[in-house]
Chains A and B, each alone.
Chain A
Amino acid sequence: MRWLLLKDLQILRRSPLQAVLLVAYPVLIAVLVGFAISRGPEKPRVAFLNEVPADTRVSVGGQQLPAAGVSERICSRVECVHVKDRAEAVAKVESGDVLAALILPEDLVDRINSLSTLTPRTPQVEVLVNEEDPVKAQLVDERISTLLAQANLAIARRIAGEGGRYLDLLIDGGKFQLAGQTFPILGLRTSAQILAALEPALPPGPLRASLHQVTGFATQARDNLDVAGPLIERLAQPIEIRKDVVNGSSPPLEIFAIAVAATLTLAFVTVLLVAGSLALEREENAFARLTRGLVSPSALLGEKVLLGVAVGLGVTLLMLAGMQIFVPLQWDRFGLWLLAILAGGGALATAGAALGAAAREVRAVSLLAFMVTLPIAFLSLVPSGAVGGGVFDLIEIVTALFPFKPALDAMTAALDSAGPGIGGPLAHLAILIAAYGLLARLALRRFAAV
């Protein structure tokens, strides 16, 4: 077997372009995927025109509220490109310099203030988008909708807070300022106390009974309005989120991204190399000569799997070492890394052997390996809930039949202690090694017969 291994390495060395592509291409894909997964979305560039006069405030009951900081909030979520007028905003959207333009018109606050009058006018903001690209258009719609929902929430909270303060003034009394003058407010609580104190001084009769009724109303109003305050505050955000993790523990996103990148590398290197080198035996007409007493078909399969695992191990470790530049890895778990790479590589290599035994030519088998590995890898990254239940069940079955998903699970578990356990994926990989080994062996019979 060692002479065959040496021969395959010699052939690989004689094809430097193939060897470089075999290593460089998966590493490139892996790094790109890892990069895309691990990085959050960039802040979109949005042209921002605030035409609202600087000293204008939203007012409630004739009282101006403090600034809610809507502009600042928006510009903390997107990269605001401040423009001087609408024409400049339009030009920036058209040129593609910005994703969209958000214009707060001059009368925005007046319209908000009109909501508490008898002649309300709906407040509007203007959004300019370039919809030549439907994907981009949807992205902008979602981003702007989210931004406005957040702005609405900020204003609603401010209004609700002010409403609550006025309610407190009505219940407990205090001082109310209007147009630079201060007015004392008695409040329901004190009113009820004064009325209750006056009641015994009156002689029994209709006047005392009426006063008793007023005292009762004041007390009831005070008690009931006490609960209205929190109610008004809740109106701003009636539903709040309480997150409970009921299943699974996940490693940090960047570790998962590295696991994806490493598994992609391992998958492409092992599947392509093993499938290709096995098909090469047939393309070179050497299979029959080799298996005519020199090497058994099982030994030949074993040699190819060993070749794939050895090269896959080297390339994957090289890639992980490179990743260390960007993200610190737990090198004390190196033993588990090796275990995951060897088991994952073994299963992927036997799957590659089954593919290689099923095709006649290296080119055909390379194409087949790509066509199988790439979609399976992407399907393995589909999270539950991203698609319908039935479709996800189907995806789970398909991905369980190919070694990529369990290899990814094993790699994730090996890289970080916060990930899932490694035992399950290793057992899964062991089953797949046996199954694909058997398939490859059966396919080799046909291989020999043709």
Chain B
Amino acid sequence: MSEAATAALDARELVKRYGEREALKKVSLTAGAGELVAVIGPNGAGKTTLLSILAGILEPDAGELRLDGAVGWVPQQAALYRRLTVAENLLLFARLEGHANPRGSVEEMLELAGLDERRGEVVARLSGGNQQRINIAIGLLSRPAVLLLDEPSVGLDPRQRARLWEFVSALAGGGTTVIFSTHDIQEAERYGGRLLVLADGESLFDGSAEALREAVRSEAPEAADRDFETAFVAYLQHRGH
């Protein structure tokens, strides 16, 4: 059996055009169960477009997409009703997803997100980190095989980031495939088991952080021993981006 056949997600040569502009140019991505894949690249690289196609929000103009099971999508900004409580938000989405026991699902998610004690609090009063955890918990309500996170740590302080990644890593450890986009290269290096580098809609690299360092060493040796972010920028420049 091939790797693609066992993958939780298999995207082949995805193309997306906005008028004359090609936002994605034959981008491919395969991810297995429990993998943590970071999609990185400068602004306008096509990260959100790729995640939107994987989430089913956008239709690709060309290419193939195969998903093994449900896909949970967590948008960049928390998609929550700020005047409802934590539990009311979860209950609403559990009901809309048609869960047989929506209240049971809410309890499960509250426990998973570690927000059981704050269930009755109105979301507007929660910190950005906690809002993001509920945001992710809602994305997990459908028991997805693949969880897509669009820049999940934007706007969070370091402590909130650490708690968020602890939560996400635990999900991956439980077998959920997590694909996240980020601008933070250090974060991608630290938490991403694999990195997919996009620039101007083009896939430049797909592999581990160590493999990316090797690629930098061979293509931009002057930056190979600098910090990961500087090395990454040098790599992009060497590739003409």
Candidates B57, B81, B97; contact of A286 at CB < 8 Å: B81
Contact with A along B77-89 (1 / 0, CB 8 A): 1111111100010
**Complex interface: chain B residues within 8 A of A4 (CB):** 92, 96
Question: How many cross-chain pairs have Cβ atoms below 8 Å apart between A and B?
Answer: 49
**Best-surrounded residue of B75, B96, B138 (most CB of chain A within 10 A):** B96
Q: What residue in chain B is nearest A289 (Cβ atoms)?
A: B79
Let me know if A3 is at the binding interface, CB within 8 A: yes
Let me know if B215 is at the binding interface, CB within 8 A: no
**Complex interface: chain A residues within 8 A of B77 (CB):** 285
**Complex interface: chain B residues within 8 A of A290 (CB):** 96
Let me know if A294 is at the binding interface, CB within 8 A: yes
Let me know if A119 is at the binding interface, CB within 8 A: no
**Best-surrounded residue of A7, A11, A15, A295 (most CB of chain B within 10 A):** A7
Contact A11–B57 (Cβ < 8 Å): no
**Best-surrounded residue of A15, A288, A289 (most CB of chain B within 10 A):** A289
Once bound together, how far apart are the Cα atoms of A122 and B162, in whole Å? Answer: 99
Contact B75–A7 (Cβ < 8 Å): no
Q: A7-B92, A14-B122 are in contact. Are A292 and B73 (CB under 8 A)?
A: yes
Once bound together, how far apart are the Cα atoms of A10 and B92, in whole Å? Answer: 11
Chain B positions near chain A (C-beta within 8 angstroms): 55-57, 73, 75, 77-84, 88, 92-93, 95-97, 122, 138
CB distance from B55 to the nearest CB of A (A): 7
List 5 contacting pairs A-B, 8 Å CB cutoff, sorted by A: A3-B95, A11-B81, A285-B79, A286-B80, A294-B93
Contact B96–A284 (Cβ < 8 Å): no
CB distance from B121 to the nearest CB of A (A): 12
Q: A289-B73, A292-B57, A295-B96 are in contact. Are A7 and B81 (CB under 8 A)?
A: yes
Q: A288-B79, A293-B56, A294-B96 are in contact. Are A10 and B73 (CB under 8 A)?
A: no
Once bound together, how far apart are the Cα atoms of A394 and B48, in whole Å? Answer: 47
Candidates A3, A288, A294; contact of B75 at CB < 8 Å: A288
Once bound together, how far apart are the Cα atoms of A4 and B96, in whole Å? Answer: 8
Q: A284-B79, A286-B81 are in contact. Are A294 and B55 (CB under 8 A)?
A: no
CB distance from A35 to the nearest CB of B (A): 35
Contact B75–A14 (Cβ < 8 Å): no
**Complex interface: chain A residues within 8 A of B73 (CB):** 289, 292
Contact A11–B97 (Cβ < 8 Å): no
Contact B88–A289 (Cβ < 8 Å): no
Contact B97–A294 (Cβ < 8 Å): yes
Contact A11–B96 (Cβ < 8 Å): no
Once bound together, how far apart are the Cα atoms of A293 and B73, in whole Å? Answer: 11
Candidates B55, B75, B88; contact of A10 at CB < 8 Å: B88
Q: What residue in chain A is nearest B58 (Cβ atoms)?
A: A449
Q: Give the residues from 67 to 95 in chain A that come closer than 8 angstroms, CB to CB, to chain B.
A: none
Once bound together, how far apart are the Cα atoms of A14 and B81, in whole Å? Answer: 11
CB distance from B127 to the nearest CB of A (A): 17
Contact A285–B92 (Cβ < 8 Å): no
CB distance from B68 to the nearest CB of A (A): 17
CB distance from A331 to the nearest CB of B (A): 38
Once bound together, how far apart are the Cα atoms of A293 and B55, in whole Å? Answer: 10
Contact with B along A16-45 (1 / 0, CB 8 A): 000000000000000000000000000000
Contact B84–A289 (Cβ < 8 Å): no
Candidates B56, B57, B82, B97; contact of A284 at CB < 8 Å: B82
CB distance from A118 to the nearest CB of B (A): 90
Q: What residue in chain B is nearest A2 (Cβ atoms)?
A: B95
Once bound together, how far apart are the Cα atoms of A416 and B46, in whole Å? Answer: 63
Contact B83–A14 (Cβ < 8 Å): yes
Once bound together, how far apart are the Cα atoms of A292 and B95, in whole Å? Answer: 15
Contact with B along A273-315 (1 / 0, CB 8 A): 0000000000011101110111100000000000000000000
**Complex interface: chain B residues within 8 A of A295 (CB):** 96
Candidates B56, B78, B84, B138; contact of A14 at CB < 8 Å: B84
Contact B56–A289 (Cβ < 8 Å): no
**Complex interface: chain B residues within 8 A of A7 (CB):** 81, 84, 88, 92
Contact B79–A11 (Cβ < 8 Å): no
Contact A289–B138 (Cβ < 8 Å): yes
Once bound together, how far apart are the Cα atoms of A284 and B81, in whole Å? Answer: 6
Q: What residue in chain A is nearest B97 (Cβ atoms)?
A: A294
**Complex interface: chain A residues within 8 A of B122 (CB):** 14
Candidates B75, B82, B83, B95; contact of A289 at CB < 8 Å: B75
Contact A285–B75 (Cβ < 8 Å): yes
CB distance from B100 to the nearest CB of A (A): 15
Q: A284-B79, A284-B82, A285-B77 are in contact. Are A292 and B88 (CB under 8 A)?
A: no
Contact B83–A15 (Cβ < 8 Å): yes
User: Apart from A10-B88, A284-B80, what are 16 other A-B pairs with CB-CB below 8 Å?
Assistant: A3-B92, A4-B92, A7-B88, A11-B84, A14-B122, A15-B83, A285-B79, A285-B80, A286-B81, A288-B79, A289-B138, A290-B96, A292-B57, A292-B73, A294-B93, A294-B97
Once bound together, how far apart are the Cα atoms of A250 and B93, in whole Å? Answer: 52
Once bound together, how far apart are the Cα atoms of A289 and B73, in whole Å? Answer: 8
**Complex interface: chain B residues within 8 A of A288 (CB):** 57, 75, 79
Q: Give the residues from 249 to 280 in chain A that come closer than 8 angstroms, CB to CB, to chain B.
A: none
Q: What residue in chain A is nearest B102 (Cβ atoms)?
A: A3
**Complex interface: chain A residues within 8 A of B97 (CB):** 294
CB distance from A241 to the nearest CB of B (A): 61
Q: A3-B95, A7-B92, A14-B122 are in contact. Are A292 and B81 (CB under 8 A)?
A: no
Once bound together, how far apart are the Cα atoms of A286 and B57, in whole Å? Answer: 13
Once bound together, how far apart are the Cα atoms of A81 and B98, in whole Å? Answer: 76
Once bound together, how far apart are the Cα atoms of A388 and B40, in whole Å? Answer: 65
CB distance from B150 to the nearest CB of A (A): 10
CB distance from A25 to the nearest CB of B (A): 20
